[in-house]
Structure 1
Amino acid sequence: MPRENYSDIIAFIAVAKESSFTRAAAKLGVSQSALSHTIRSLETRLGVRLLMRTTRSVSLTEAGKTLFDEVADMFEAIDASIESLSDWREHPTGTIRITANDHAADNILWPRLVPLLARYPDIKLEINIDYGLTNIVEQRFDIGVRIGDQIAKDMIAVKIGPEMRMAVVGSPEYFAKHPIPKEPSDLMHHQCINLRLQSHGGLYAWEFDNGVTQVNVHVEGQLTFNTTNQMLQGALDGFGLAYVPDDIIALHIEQGKLVRVLTDWCEPFPGYHIYYPNRRQSSAAFNLVVDALRYSTNM
């Protein structure tokens, strides 16, 4: 294929990523009809159908998926190499996409990245809140955030926080009407506030470890949320027990607004890490974000 037609491949990659001619055209800054013509011309030259089109959706054919899997990373690497030239400029630029849960985003990512964004206004940041184990390569994220023992071995992992502990808490008003649970199994007789995992649609099982025994409990209750802060607020308002990171309850415990239970069943575990695939050429913006998030015992 002549090099001048590489722009057609870029157009194909955009449609494949967006699964929409409308969104891809907006991203590329062209009309939808022009983009459709470009893709048809590419398919004609290659002699294969790359995309299946219906009135409601766009999907890859088997040939299209093969082409996308082969070339998307190559063009992304080219973009990264060009973006890395910002090392030679005074102001690094580029968009860094991160997927994380709301607790990590609120308590680690945002506080650490605010000074960086203020110093480098040309760096753009996108944070996607998700409790699922997102495939950052497939979803085209630059960085993911997970607990340390959940990261795939083929990823580069960087520690961004200390060890963590979870906590089961309820309001004094709730415990005035319900007994204190002594064992995780006692939670089956309590109103508990569930967390729905956005990516998988299921409910998160509360995990307990007393140093000898590990057990997961599927709880039930009136409320289900998909963010930690909503769960905490539900507990504060007396609607049941919440299972949340212990660093966000200290003030509420001190003020007598929450009571912590099952403490012996909440052992410390590895804290948050960022992870990303190996990059031979990382942009200056990417490196600055990683350095800003890197955890130090002096923090």
Structure 2
Amino acid sequence: MEKDLLDGIVPFLAVAEHLSFTRAALALDVSPTAISKAIQQFEQRHGVVLFQRTTRSVVLTESGEALFQRLRPAKDEIRDALIQISSYQTRPKGTLRLTMSRTAMMLIVEPFVPEFCRAYPDITLELSLDEGVVNLASGLYDAGIRLGEIIEKDMVAVKLTPELRWSVVGSSAYFQRAGRPQKPEDLTKHEAIIYRFVTSGQRHRWEFNRRGREFLVDMAGRIVVNERASLLTFARQGLGLAYAADVEVAEDLATGRLESVLRDYIRPTSGLHLYFPARAQVQPKLRAFIDMLKRKS
């Protein structure tokens, strides 16, 4: 579209509606001279006379009337569109696009979504599962949920959970068969259920800490999954050990389906945070999501 294609349309519509250069100038808060010059340039640009002007009256020419009849509905549509878009600043509506890890989906979002959808029927949720850090702008996301320690510093972050405690878990049947590891080095004699990150494709290397020194253990395992629920299902079945956050296995630990070991060797990580650019928090759809999440967390 030529950059000057729309130049002159607003003055033309004002004069056509008022049939007066003076009243059109008052409506647009400009001088009559400015209106007259804008119309003259508009007519010259398109090679047509739009108004017949005398000292007493202004009337549309045939071509001016034809143009006015075509543009007047478009003006009304533009006005209605602007009125509609302004409602996005006052009422939660539209599509809210979120990126999160599978753990965040399972622990925070899945239990929360039904109530949110009932409360805000005009919001559509698009939920994307990604394990790595996602550039919100490049993916057209409004917000994300990640561990606080990996969120970029220029983002606004809303804490959703306390620090996450981690441990190695297994079923009682597995421990009866293979014994309990007393220190991370004992894991070389054990079987594990291995988690593969969806985005990077890398296998999870188990992280430990001894007297402030971090180190990793590459576990052996005949079962590799990229879904957290399956990871824990196979651990419950006694097929191997799993590395999990306490919040993931809270019910399993309470009922005895899984038992925890080596937790003293694993440093807590920062909790899950909702993060977004500062400019995004003025959107009612995101504000509604934040407010309800904070009430529930």
Interval of TM-score (by shorter of Structure 1 and Structure 2): 0.5 to 0.7
What residue is the counterpart of 1:62 in the other structure? none
**TM-superposition CA deviations, 1:200-250 (whole Å, max 9, x none):** 111111122355332222212011111211110010011100111112323
CA distance 1:230–1:4, shift in 2 (3 Å): farther
Q: Are positions 1:293 and 2:280 aligned together?
A: no
Q: Distance between the aligned counterparts of 2:274 and 2:120, measured in 1?
A: 21
How many positions carry a matched residue from both structures? 222
Q: Distance between the aligned counterparts of 1:267 and 1:252, measured in 2?
A: 21
**TM-superposition CA deviations, 1:24-52 (whole Å, max 9, x none):** xxxxxxxxxxxxxxxxxxxxxxxxxxxxx
CA RMSD of aligned residues (A): 2.6
- Report if aligned partners of 2:280, 2:286 keep a CA contact under 8 Å in 1: no
CA distance 1:199–1:185, shift in 2 (3 Å): same
- The residue correspondences of 1:227-266 to structure 2 (distance < 5 A) are 227-266=227-266
Query: Which structure is larger by alpha-carbon Rg, 1 or 2?
Result: 2
What residue is the counterpart of 2:117 in the other structure? 117
Amino acid at match of 1:86: Y
- Report if aligned partners of 1:159, 1:295 keep a CA contact under 8 Å in 2: no
- Secondary structure of 1:243 counterpart: strand
Amino acid at match of 2:265: W
What residue is the counterpart of 1:171 in the other structure? 171
- Secondary structure of 2:107 counterpart: helix
What residue is the counterpart of 1:66 in the other structure? none
Amino acid at match of 1:190: H
**TM-superposition CA deviations, 1:241-290 (whole Å, max 9, x none):** 01111123233233332221102113322100111223167321111112
CA distance 1:208–1:5, shift in 2 (3 Å): farther
What residue is the counterpart of 2:269 in the other structure? 269
- Secondary structure of 1:220 counterpart: coil
- Report if aligned partners of 2:169, 2:260 keep a CA contact under 8 Å in 1: yes
1:295, CA displacement in angstroms? 6.9
Q: Identity of counterpart residues, as a percentage? A: 35
Q: Distance between the aligned counterparts of 1:267 and 1:240, measured in 2?
A: 22
- Secondary structure of 1:249 counterpart: helix
What residue is the counterpart of 2:19 in the other structure? none
- Report if aligned partners of 1:171, 1:238 keep a CA contact under 8 Å in 2: yes
Q: Are positions 1:85 and 2:87 aligned together?
A: yes
- Secondary structure of 1:111 counterpart: helix
TM-score, length-scaled by structure 1: 0.67
- Report if aligned partners of 1:193, 1:240 keep a CA contact under 8 Å in 2: yes
Amino acid at match of 1:212: G
- Report if aligned partners of 1:84, 1:282 keep a CA contact under 8 Å in 2: no
What residue is the counterpart of 1:158 in the other structure? 158
What residue is the counterpart of 2:191 in the other structure? 191
- Secondary structure of 2:139 counterpart: coil
CA distance 1:295–1:103, shift in 2 (3 Å): farther
- The residue correspondences of 1:1-299 to structure 2 (distance < 5 A) are 1-2=1-2, 83=85, 85-89=87-91, 92-210=92-210, 212-279=212-279, 282-294=282-294, 299=297
1:82, CA displacement in angstroms? 7.2
Amino acid at match of 2:87: L
Q: Distance between the aligned counterparts of 1:274 and 1:5, measured in 2?
A: 44
Q: Distance between the aligned counterparts of 2:227 and 2:236, measured in 1?
A: 15
1:85, CA displacement in angstroms? 2.8
Q: Distance between the aligned counterparts of 2:158 and 2:5, measured in 1?
A: 39
Q: Distance between the aligned counterparts of 2:98 and 2:4, measured in 1?
A: 33
When structure 1 is superposed on structure 2, of 105-114 and 145-154 the one drifting more is 105-114
Q: Distance between the aligned counterparts of 2:103 and 2:278, measured in 1?
A: 26
- Secondary structure of 1:294 counterpart: helix
Q: Distance between the aligned counterparts of 1:102 and 1:158, measured in 2?
A: 18
Stretches of structure 2 that go unaligned for 5 or more consecutive residues are 7-80
Q: Distance between the aligned counterparts of 2:196 and 2:166, measured in 1?
A: 17
Amino acid at match of 1:154: D
- Secondary structure of 1:260 counterpart: strand
Q: Distance between the aligned counterparts of 1:5 and 1:288, measured in 2?
A: 40
1:106, CA displacement in angstroms? 1.8
Amino acid at match of 1:117: C
